[in-house]
Amino acid sequence: MEKLHLEYPAAAPATRRVLVGVVASGDLEVLITPADAGRCHIVIHSSADGSATRWRAQLDRLFADGKAAAMRMEINDFAATPGVISLRLAQALEELSA
């Protein structure tokens, strides 16, 4: 089991909570709650050891520009593939902006 903590610059706070996905074999769940303006805090609980590089690459692409809402994102990963990771992150951010 691996636990990662990442932070990125962010804009205004998220306006609501979001939950997408499930914790099941080959899947993951993403939970978003509003946070203080200016920071995006991400905590990842992964059943796959050695996944830090993969997660960092996925999240750097999404959050490096600092335009995302300020949020606390908790990700519970049960060995999801990169495709499933991209899908769930996109779903969560779309739901947040809806």
CA distances from 54 to 15, 18, 25, 36, 69 (A): 28, 23, 18, 27, 22
Structure tokens at 17: 């909570």
- Could you tell me the mean pLDDT of each successive run of 10 residues in the chain, 98 residues long? 94 94 86 94 92 91 90 94 91 92
Find where tokens 């203080």 sit: 36
Strand locations in 10-88, DSSP E?
18-21, 27-34, 39-46, 71-78
Residue 60's domain spans which residues? 2-97
Q: What CATH number does the domain containing 16 carry? A: 3.30.230
Residue type, position 48, single letter = A
Q: Tens of pLDDT along 69-97?
A: 999 999 999 988 889 999 999 999 999 98
| Total tally of structural domains belonging to the chain | 1
